[in-house]
Amino acid sequence: MRIALVLLWLLRWLPQPVVASLGRGLGSLLFRWGRRKVTLINLAKCMPEKSEAERVALGRNVFRNLARATFEMGHLWYAPVDEAMKRVKVVDRHYMDEWVGKAPVIMLAPHFVGLDFGGARTSYDYPQVFSMYSTQKSKVFDRALRRARQRWNNAELVTRQQGLRPVLKALKQNKLFYYLPDMDFGARDAVFADFFGVQTATVTALSRLCEITGAKVVPAITRQTETGYELRYYPAWDNFPSDDPLADANRMNAFIEARIREMPDQYFWVHKRFKTRPEGEASFYG
């Protein structure tokens, strides 16, 4: 792991086009041996209208974009803060500024390849931002990850092992939560909501957090561009939450699906999004 971190530090000194090219090249190779099967199963379930050849090409680009983003983390983690942030453009920031200091805000940030860059930019622009992360098995990498994510105004980090209590406390203080909602954590505290026409285990935490704290949901979507990343904010959701957790989960998934269709090769298709199935239904992944 130390070797990987040294590599990231070295990549920080190379020009961005070179790092991007190296990352895309590695991604093409990893597509042969990485989570190719999982990625193609996900794409087949979500985009059956595409031919197999189209899904293979799309899957390969997912790996290329993901590897590029990983290589560009060297610049994000180790370049001077102001220099690193020059590569992350912000669009429609006024949708966030409208609520900062007036109400707690949950920034809905789905798993696109640029999410770490968007998260860094939110922390850079708003010292009140906090986020949740999973403790890493490697203590070396865990320390490096925490250090990197706290470069931006010493952002507060909550581990998943701590649960939602510290999240509720922070939101009640009108802080801003950079929230990644689209992972499969099992059936507990989840409903089976529609996602690309597939019944998908979807946590209902967003509804519950908003109901308890009065938080506003402001989506924050990060796109990988030719020269860097673009963080775009969207208008705060009206009439959320409703009194129906399933309807809220469907609304959230529909928004995420719409953004994925705009840039399908930048979504994190490599994770087992459909791991948890309704009772009696066989696993998609074998």
The string of pLDDT tens digits covering residues 70-85 is 999 999 999 999 999 9
Per cent of the chain over pLDDT 70 is 100
pLDDT at residue 146, as a whole number: 86
Mean pLDDT on 112-126? 96
More confident residue, 93 or 33: 93
| Euclidean distance between CA atoms 95 and 27, whole angstroms | 35
DSSP state string for the chain: -HHHHHHHHHHTTS-HHHHHHHHHHHHHHHHHHSSHHHHHHHHHHH-TTS-HHHHHHHHHHHHHHHHHHHHHHHHHHHS-HHHHHTTEEEE-THHHHTTTTTS-EEEE---BTTHHHHHHHHHHH-TTEEEEEPPPSSHHHHHHHHHHHTTTTT-EEEEGGG-SHHHHHHHTTT-EEEE-------STTEEEEEETTEEEEEE-HHHHHHHHH-PEEEEEEEEE-SSSEEEEE-PPPSS-S-S-HHHHHHHHHHHHHHHHHHSGGGB-TTS-TT-S--TTPPPS--
pLDDT at residue 170, as a whole number: 93
pLDDT at residue 40, as a whole number: 97
Mean pLDDT on 218-246? 97
Indicate the length of the chain as a whole number.
286
Contact 169, 257 (CB under 8 A): no
Contact 202, 191 (CB under 8 A): yes
Mean pLDDT on 97-102? 95
Mean pLDDT on 212-239? 97
pLDDT at residue 138, as a whole number: 84
User: What are phi and psi for residue 225, nearest 5 degrees?
Assistant: -115, 180
pLDDT at residue 153, as a whole number: 84
Question: Could you tell me the pTM of the whole model?
Answer: 0.94
pLDDT at residue 162, as a whole number: 85
pLDDT at residue 139, as a whole number: 85
* pLDDT exceeds cutoff 80 at 1: no
Average model confidence (pLDDT) across the chain: 94
More confident residue, 195 or 185: 195
pLDDT at residue 148, as a whole number: 85
Mean pLDDT on 141-151? 86
| Euclidean distance between CA atoms 113 and 150, whole angstroms | 20
pLDDT band at 155 (very low <50, low <70, confident <90, very high): confident
* pLDDT exceeds cutoff 80 at 232: yes
* pLDDT exceeds cutoff 90 at 59: yes
Pairing assessment for the beta strands 229-233 and 156-159 based on DSSP bridges:
unpaired
Mean pLDDT on 118-139? 91
| Euclidean distance between CA atoms 56 and 70, whole angstroms | 21
pLDDT at residue 161, as a whole number: 82
